[in-house]
Chain A
Amino acid sequence: MTEKSSDAVGYCRLEDAQADIRDAFFATDAGLFVLDCGPGAGKSVTADSIAAEDLARKRSAGVENPEETLCLTSFSRDDAASILPGVEEALGRLAADPEAPVTLSEESASELGAALRGSDRVGTVDSVLGTVFEAVADEVGFDGTPTVGDGSDLAGVHGDAVELVRNDDSLVNAFDRLDGAYPEGRYDEDVGDLLATARNACRERCFDVETLHERLLGVLEGAYPDGPPESLEDVLEDVERFFGPDERNAVEERLAVDPDGERDAVATADARCHDEWAAAIERFCTVLSVYLDAYDEACRARGVVAHVDVAHWVATFFEAEHYAGPFRERLQERYTDRLSTVVVDEAQDVSHAQHDALAPLVDAETRVLLVGDRNQSVYAWRNAQPALFAAAFEDGEYFGIEWDTHESNRATRSYRFRPGVAAAIDTVFESVFTDPTRGGDAKEYQPLRTVRDGTVEPNLHLAAFDGRGEPGKKRWVDPSEGVGEAAALADCIATGLRDDRFGEDPGVTVLFQRRTHMASYIDAFADTGLTVRDTSRVLFDHPLVGAVCAVVEWLLDPTDKSATLTLTNDDDLPLNTLIDRLMRADWSIHRVAESGSLSGALGRFTDGLATLADRRPTHLASAGADVVSDVIETLSLAADPFDQSSAATDDTAVLDRLVATVADWEGEERYSLPQLAAALGHARRNPKSGPSLPTVGDGDVTFRTIHGAKGDEDDVVAVADLGDRLGRLGPQLDRFLAHGQHVALSPPANLGTGENYPELAGTVLAGGPYDPDAKPGDDSSGLRWASQRWVPEEKRIAGPPPLSAAVTTSRAERWRLLYVALSRARDHLVLPLPTEREESTPRDRWVDTLRDAYEFHAGRSGSYTVATPEPHEPLTVSVHSPTSPVTADMESPPGTPDTGESSSLPPTLTTGWTPRFVSPSTLYPLSTAPAKHVLAHLSGRALHSDHEGVDDSLPLTFETMGPDVVGDVAHDTFAIALRDEVDTEMLRASGGPLPAAIDRAIARHASGVAPDEREQLRRYLESSLLPAFAETSLWDRLQATDRRYVEEPLDGVVRVGDPGLAVEIGGQADIVSVDDAGEWHVDDLKVTLTPLDESLRGRYELQAAAYAWALSRQPEVKTVTTTVTTVGTERTSWTVDAGDATFKRALNRLYNLNWE
């Protein structure tokens, strides 16, 4: 169920702010219209309705192809995917409602919807820009349209660029110094990674290197507002300034108790930090400048770009002077002249790059509608710039235009929530969004207003649990004893569903901010008997997928010892037990397999590996997806041979998804084996950026990430894993910080503290002015870098202002994420909260803020009420406390989707081989010795019999001429003789049209034959074959009838075996005729070059029998006489007795061959 659902029938009449913005929109031809829309307030409904009405009005006004005048975009794929159905639904409502403001027939509505589906101006911002990029790619130096977003190729591009920069003589020193300043660490990016991060940050923000340089220096200056310190006092002043007087006191106290430390060393280290930081920024920007050029060149060489590059190049193409020209002008006109309406949904998430790339497509004559919600801006970490939306709302500036007509409205009436849910959200966020410590910047909170009626039953459900250990850790979620967060939530939902507390057949979604503990939750829900549809798990984390990746890597060199050793040590393949055997077998998988010493799954797997190694030539030639498929099938991975996969996944579906994913990666191109291995390796190392696991069916409960659920809703929404501390993985750990408007490069990591640096443990200066060793969970990285610590007296985040601002911004986004999560619920909100908390930190943890807001504590049970902001009624809170062990009460094992694939399949069918097409002329050899002839049959080559050869007495040599040529030339000539009414004398004398016919036949069949042999052939025909033909009874019989058909096609489809496979028989009988008595004849005329033996007679007879069978099936034919006549070495003629039975027996011998 999505935000777009509505119970209304007919034209959707917008209300309040929605109606105001709609009225303003249609009151003018151009302008900027901005709707800041609370959750459930109908952002998309408004956008879709206005878009539909816009189309309908244009259609009504006679505008040709109105869909071309409309651009409809949204940030995310899911939102974009719902645009078309939303607009189509709105069109349908318009057509169905006679009182709608514009008349639209159902047919027109349908046509408009269909036309919109074909529009490349509807979709994600990236997809719309992708279409523009296709037109400009060549102009900006690409050879055709590059692939967009291929992670593996982009990693290669980056590698190429870094390599090039590293080898640039002019940068060697700078690069070496940067390497020293930013060494790779467990949690730390190396210089190459930093360049990639900086590139992305610049592109997303439309910064050139110069701008970035200014920004980085700005941070440095903000971190040293008075310049480099000259004394300890200077440092202490900054400690107090950034971290408060208590921290200064703490430093001073530590200094006082360390008699060995030199106080001046602090200032010395700090001054050095300043200078080296400044130098690092200079070097970094110098290198970055060259790297960016190298990156673009590498993109061109490899034919791949990132999405942000697409936006960059589109914007650059329209801005840079040297791209000016008729094509650019025309391209721009194609958009500006046609586009009169642009609608951007989720506009708060649009990045600078996307905004600037879309801007040239819009001019001041356009109507632009932006809908968004700043409170739901949760993508600043992915470079969303809600400030753009804010500027549009406040100042009427967007797409580089200061709009003369500018209308902004705020919609707060929600069509989604029950009042109780809205009250539950407001109870939390009235304080959060007005609290600067939690990133709130609102002076006044606007409570949610609801349209829907309230319910007697509570809408907020708290699942109480013990709360052991640190919030967010394993013990908190899933303790070995007692009830943890996961079990409590699962039990609350299971009980609620069982008791119909959540209404009839409700949809239930559980939202997570991270995936860390999802497996524990799946188990907990399974324990209660609920199945989970988990849309958040990623493909390349699956062990069977890992196994495929490992095997493909091995196939690069399957005979290499180190490759085999790597395979056996792979985490996703339990092959350790092979190592001893491999050592004894000189690391040859083949020898181990051939030894037969292994049995069971390991034995079969080893055999499979040996088979795959043998297929290396095929793998080198095949597409990557086919290699992956072969690995899966040969190793029977779908059967999970080593029992690695969780029972809750459908392994067949997982492996199918893998094959399809590789096929998608390849597109029209083909990966080489090394490319395939590299791509799989990249995906395996970066699983989260890859595809998700396929889900099977609909579970009782759906698991999603909060980001993934943005824009959606469900009847019951639970938010799990609420305990994690905000900022645990925050910017203090970054070396290159890029969040929203903030960018910064950390001080170098190799400065140390110098000699005699005082012992300042427990203070912000403990590790020096910048502590590069900070780990996840550490609050601070020193005085001069970002920190998650608080200045208690001032209720602000500590640290230098440019950096504390960045941290504050990122923390604020975490609170908005909670807002998004809570506001997905339509009817019921379920939250797991601990009964006890020893040290509540509501600024740092969702769980504590929620506890405070809902006044929850150990004494709560049953239901209670809490006060809520106006205009809400007091909120009834239902508390669910599991009192007995949580167990399943359902019969089927929970969490096990119905996959059925391997366990319950009926017996596998078997497919042998039966020829699909058979020529009567080859039926005999094929049916008598199929194994001998099948390869020639499949290759479309002649099926030669053992007896074939030529009689030595023939006046022919066969140096350059094959025996077949004689028969082919003779047949063509005989056919002419029959068709052209040649009389017997003429035939004997080879007169009339025959010489010319022989010439044509020789030219046709004997073009490669030497002239003397051609001449032999001609003489043989004239002197022997044609006169012999004239002497046959066949010739006499044919002379006596007018009803003769030369080279008559005779086809049939015959069913063989059981259940009857259709075999097509097809060929041309030499002659079909009807004699005076009405008798039908099939005649086969053969030129023999050897004496007839039994098998040759058999071959001729079977061929003739096949023709007779085909002819006898024709409507007017009753009985058929079949005759074979030979000339050449043997002159004879006989009536063939072989009938249908012989023919079908021969075919049945070919039925379902299995070649054993």
Chain B
Amino acid sequence: MSEQRGSFHAIVDDAEQVLDRAVRSTEPVELVVTPERLHRRNLKRRLAEQGSPRSSYRLTDSQRIAERLLRTADRQPETIDRIDRLKHAEALLGEETDANDRLRAVFGSDLRAHAETIEAAHRRVTSITAWAPARIEALETTAAGLPDVAAADTGDIVTGVRSLEQELAKCVDGTHSRGALLSDAASLVAEDPTVWRESFPTIERLSLAGVSAVDAPLLDLLAAATSAGVDVRLYLRPGTGPAIAERLADRVPDCDALSGVAGGEFSPPSVPTSELVADTPEAEARLAAGVVAGLLRKGVSPSDVLVVARDAESYERAIERAAGRHGVSLAVWAQLPVERTLPYRLFDACCTLLGTAEPSLSTLLAPLEFQWVPPASESEVWPLTTEQVAAVRSELAENSALEQPVSAWLAKLDDDSFAPLRTYLEWVTAQPETPEPVALHGTFEPVFDAYRELVLPTVFAADDPDLGRTAQHARAIVRIEELLVDTRAKYDEWLDAGDLPRSWLAVAELAERVVATRPGRREHANAAAVDVVDATDAWLRQVPHVVAVGLVDGVWPRRPESVFPSAFRRAVVKGDSAAARRLAVPGRWTASRETDHLASAVDAATEQLICSRYRRDREGTEQERSQLLSTLSPQPLPASTAESLRAGTLPDSLAPANGGGSQ
């Protein structure tokens, strides 16, 4: 069956079109692909705010599309995760090969020590070329034009990671990366467009929105979709968009359906914009918190204020402390540091104890320190208090230097011993010494069920009205439940492959990798908290008052970074040659991405935009004003403004236009 090719349009800085097209439909007719989960959330929220039906849309990501396509063709869609990919990469990089010698000249003698860096380089080449021979050739041509050392470094890296790509493909049963998954799906559809129709029979259009880069595997998939008659729309952002759009014709030479580039570049804000300057980062956070508190005191709803930063997490502590002094709660949309939560530490402490044949007193009692509670207990003694744990320690203190089996610790107890201690030690001795995968749930599920029943209410009882601690605790328990599933599955696989011993310590180590590789999203459940987000996550949001912090050179914009020589990076970004223009530009390589983020913040503000920065870092070194600020032409606010904000009073120049009230 011959399909009529779909069209391929790039639109710069007009993502609102996506909002206008949503309708009611018995089946979805358009795939809306966004790279970030929060972007999908923002899109849904905007549609909800304007009361749009949205059943014509299916909000998804590219990986899920590819998986579905492969599944339709009875192909294996499972992709190994980064932990497994690193494991394979480390093994491959330990081999004596010519390709590895090339990498050693670049990275050093022990390639396994640089496995993460090399894996990043591998991902980068995947994103630039999708390993298409023509693009690899273009890459090599581009590299050859560089100064000697940069050319040598680039050539060696590409040769090395190309070999790695080939070896990974051989040794991995299934798909070894997102890039490979997308490329496989693209090839499949290119060869047989009916696979698309079978997979997405009602889909007429695919819109990619909110991206600062369109990598080669994704572009191949989009091009393939057009071959199945799907109309593709790229909604590009104002910083990176023009360059991406301009290069599309070179990057998809076979895609004759490419047409229509619309839209413009970043435009200055249409709302009043002001600039606040503080001395230090913490002083800036106090100023920003003063603005937020001042707006709230004027009657503005917390839902109508948004704080954005290039990296919200880096501001989290300072701005939360500052806002807290005004009684303002913040919702910082950064990753939840699961490894710093009590449930994870309890899990880790239990694994360490169960994996230690002769634990010391501190190892023995660590789970109690982290509020271990016995499964299915209703006793009010749990969780033990600090003083009770200290008393337990004291009871066993005469043996504090000892390292002995838990059974020996247990044998020391007598009738007068603290009963909960016996309960605890008996639980420990009841657990399997060499855990099967199923033991992860067998051991920990009841513990965390009990934890939820007994500990979470104590956190709730002691919490502030905004339930900040309770919400974080609850979220951490959810993450631990996910962690148990993920770790169990991986433990099972790795045991089968003989990659690790059957032990609790191995479980703990594996869980540590999993928790680091799959950091937990934080969810915020309080509508009264003011959102603090990464600027990019403000994409498509609309809020009357936006406070943009950290407009300091090197902070926002950040410096582009890469494992590749900067000369190569710039050659690709500039695209001065025909070869370079065939390559995808990774988002991290371009300063335009910083403009994308700023544009998201600027576009979010419907009433006013307040920008802030600091003059000196903590060591007193002068910090330069972000050059991005000059594109906003903000009104500098006098020093007296800062003084009144520190005092918690909003100056007239920042007062809400309608005197407050929700929007």
Chain A interfacial positions (CB closer than 8 Å to B): 64-65, 68, 77-78, 81-82, 84-85, 114, 117-118, 135-136, 138-139, 143-144, 325-327, 329-330, 333-334, 337-338, 535, 557-560, 588, 590, 613-614, 616-618, 620-623, 625-626, 629, 632-633, 638, 652-653, 656-657, 659-661, 663-664, 670, 691-692, 694-697, 898-901, 904-906, 908-917, 934-935, 937-940, 979, 1044-1046, 1048-1049, 1051-1053, 1055-1056, 1058-1066, 1072, 1110, 1113-1115, 1152-1155
Interface size bracket, B side:
35 or more
Which of A652, A1062, A1115 has the largest count of B CB atoms less than 10 A from its CB? A1062
Scoring B321, B383, B390 by chain A CB atoms within 10 A of each residue's CB, the highest score goes to: B321
Determine whether the beta carbon of B525 is less than 8 Å from that of A937: yes
Taking the closest CB of chain A, its distance from the CB of B420, in whole angstroms, is 15
Q: Which residues of A contact B149 (CB under 8 A)?
A: 330, 333-334, 337-338
Q: Which residues of B contact A939 (CB under 8 A)?
A: 452, 456, 474, 477-478
Q: Tell me whether A905 and B317 are in contact in the complex, defined as CB-CB below 8 angstroms, given that A914-B527, A1048-B55 are known contacts.
A: no
A144 to B117, CA, bound (A): 11
A residues near B281, Cβ cutoff 8 Å: 660
B624: chain A residues at CB < 8 Å are 84-85, 117
Q: Within the complex, what minimum Cβ distance (angstroms) separates B470 from chain A?
A: 6
Listed A/B pairs (16) with beta-carbon separation below 8 Å: A64-B147, A617-B386, A618-B342, A621-B344, A633-B324, A660-B282, A900-B643, A905-B648, A906-B647, A909-B296, A912-B465, A914-B528, A915-B525, A1052-B51, A1055-B301, A1155-B467
Cβ A1051 vs Cβ B340 within 8 A: no
A917-B104 Cα distance, complex, nearest whole Å: 52
Instruction: Report chain B residues within 8 Å CB of A1053.
Output: 45, 48-49
Chain A residue numbers with a CB within 8 Å of B282 are 653, 656-657, 659-660, 694
Docked-complex contact A910 and B465, CB < 8 angstroms: yes
Residue numbers in A under 8 Å from B303 (CB-CB): 1055, 1060-1062
In contact, A65 and B570 (Cβ under 8 angstroms): yes
Is there contact, CB below 8 Å, between B48 and A558?
no
CB distance from B172 to the nearest CB of A (A): 26
> Which residues of chain B come closer than 8 Å to A64, judged between CB atoms?
146-147, 567
B48 surroundings in chain A (CB, below 8 A): 1051-1053, 1064-1066, 1110
Known contacts A656-B282, A660-B318, A1048 near B460 by CB under 8 Å: no
Residue of B nearest to A621 (CB): B345
A979-B387 Cα distance, complex, nearest whole Å? 62
Bound CA–CA A177/B341 (angstroms): 50
Q: Let me know if A337 and B147 touch, CB within 8 A.
A: yes
The chain B residue with its CB closest to the CB of A336 is: B149
Q: Do the beta carbons of A325 and B109 come within 8 Å of each other? A: yes
Question: Measured between alpha carbons, how far is A1059 from B299 in the docked complex, in Å?
Answer: 6
Contacts across chains A and B counted by CB atoms under 8 Å = 312
Q: How far is the CA of A674 from the CA of B525 in the complex (A)?
A: 33
A558, B386: Cβ atoms under 8 Å? yes
Q: Is B260 an interface residue (CB 8 A)?
A: no
Partner of A938, one of B339, B471, B554, B648: B471
> Which of B326, B523, B527, B620 has the most C-beta atoms of chain A within 10 angstroms of its own C-beta?
B527
Return chain A residues, CB-CB under 8 Å to B341: 621
1/0 contact trace for B48-63 toward A, CB 8 Å?
1101111100000000
B404 lies within 8 A of chain A by Cβ: no
Q: For chain B residues 130-172, which have a beta carbon within 8 Å of chain A?
A: 146-149, 152-153
Nearest CB on A from B157, distance (A): 11
* Alpha-carbon distance between A84 and B622 when the two chains are bound, in angstroms: 11
Contacts of B390 in A (CB 8 A): 557, 559-560
Residue among B101, B299, B526, B624 facing the most chain A CB atoms (10 A cut-off): B526
Residues from chain A with Cβ under 8 Å of B660 in the complex: 1059
Among the listed A68, A588, A632, A1110, which residue makes an inter-chain contact with B387, where contact means beta carbons less than 8 Å apart?
A588
Q: Is residue B24 within 8 Å, beta carbon to beta carbon, of the partner chain? A: yes
Residue numbers in A under 8 Å from B383 (CB-CB): 617
Which residue of B has the minimal Cβ distance to A533? B279
- What residues on A are CB-neighbors of B619 within 8 Å? 77, 691
- A614 pairs with B317, CB closer than 8 A: no
- Whole-angstrom distance between the alpha carbons of A692 and B618 in the complex? 8
Q: Would you call B598 an interface residue if the criterion is a C-beta within 8 Å of the partner chain's C-beta atoms?
A: no
B553 touches A117 (CB 8 A): yes
Known contacts A656-B282, A692-B620, A1061-B302; is-contact A935 B474 (Cβ 8 Å)? yes
Residues in A with CB closer than 8 Å to B352 are: none
A911: B residues at CB distance < 8 A: 302, 327-329, 464-466, 526, 528-529
Closest to A978 in B: B26
B39 within 8 A of A: no
**Interface of chain B residues 596 through 627 with chain A (CB within 8 A):** 618-622, 624, 627
Residues of A within 8 A of B331 (CB): 916
Is the CB–CB distance between A590 and B387 below 8 Å? yes
State whether the Cβ of B205 lies closer than 8 Å to any Cβ in chain A: no
| Interchain residue pairs A-B with the least CB separation, the first 7 | A1060-B662, A1051-B48, A1062-B303, A909-B327, A656-B282, A1113-B51, A908-B327
When C-beta atoms are compared, the residue in chain B nearest to A917 turns out to be: B525
Chain B residues, CB < 8 A from A906:
297, 647-649
Which B residues lie within 8 Å of A78 (CB)?
620-621
* CB-CB nearest in chain B for A1113: B51
Bound complex: CA of A557 vs CA of B325, how far in Å? 29
Most chain A CB within 10 A, of B369, B383, B391, B524, is at B369
Contact across chains for A326 and B387 when beta carbons are under 8 A apart: no
Given A694-B280, A911-B328, are A1055 and B662 also a contact pair (CB < 8 Å)? Answer: yes
> For residue A638, which residues in chain B have a CB less than 8 angstroms away from its CB?
325
Q: Is the CB of B646 closer than 8 A to any CB of chain A?
A: yes
The reply on B114 being an interface residue by CB < 8 A is yes
B104, A326: Cβ atoms closer than 8 Å = yes
Contact A1114:B465 (CB < 8 A) given known A65-B570, A938-B471, A1152-B528: no
Q: In whole angstroms, what is the CA distance A1154 to B387 when docked?
A: 29
CB atoms of A1060 and B109 under 8 A apart: no
B385 interfacial contact with A, CB 8 Å: yes
CB B115 to nearest CB in A, in angstroms, measures 11
Contact between chains at B51 and A1115 (CB < 8 Å): yes
Contact flag A909-B279 (CB < 8 Å), given A138-B114, A938-B475? no
B1-33 contact mask (Cβ, 8 Å, vs A): 1 or 0: 000000000000000000000001110000000
Does B283 reach chain A (CB closer than 8 Å)? yes
Within 8 A of A (CB), among B298-347: 299-303, 317-318, 321-322, 324-329, 331, 337, 339-342, 344-345
Q: How far is the CA of A138 from the CA of B471 in the complex (A)?
A: 42
Determine whether the beta carbon of A135 is less than 8 Å from that of B108: yes
| Cβ of B560 under 8 Å from chain A | yes
- Are B474 and A915 neighbours in the complex by a CB distance under 8 Å? no
Residues of B within 8 A of A620 (CB): 345, 369-370
Inter-chain contact A114/B325, CB cutoff 8 Å: no
Give Cα A916–Cα B109 distance, bound, in whole angstroms: 53
> Which chain B residues numbered 377 to 394 have a C-beta less than 8 Å away from chain A?
383, 385-387, 389-391
Candidates A114, A653, A912, A1049; contact of B466 at CB < 8 Å = A912
Q: Are B618 and A327 in contact (CB-based, < 8 A)?
A: no
Write the chain B residue with the least CB distance to A1050: B53
A588 to B465, CA, bound (A): 29
Which residue of chain A lies nearest to B570 when distances are taken between CB atoms in the complex? A65
Q: How far is the CB of B263 from chain A (nearest CB, A)?
A: 24
Closest B residue to A904 by CB, please name it.
B647
CA distance A613 to B591 in the complex (A): 48
Within the assembled complex, what's the spacing in Å between the Cα atoms of A82 and B570?
Answer: 26
User: What is the CA–CA distance of A135 and B563 in the complex, to the nearest angstrom?
Assistant: 11
Complex contact A1155–B622 (CB within 8 A): no
Q: Mark B556-578, 1 if CB is under 8 A from A, else 0.
A: 00011000001100100000000
Q: How far in angstroms is the closest Cβ of chain A from B261?
A: 24
Q: A633-B324, A904-B647 are in contact. Are A670 and B339 (CB under 8 A)?
A: yes
Is B44's beta carbon under 8 Å from chain A? yes
Chain B residue nearest in CB terms to A81: B621
The answer to whether A898 and B643 touch across the interface, beta carbons within 8 angstroms, is yes
The docked-state distance in angstroms from the alpha carbon of A618 to that of B462 is: 13
Question: CA separation between A118 and B387, bound complex, in Å?
Answer: 53
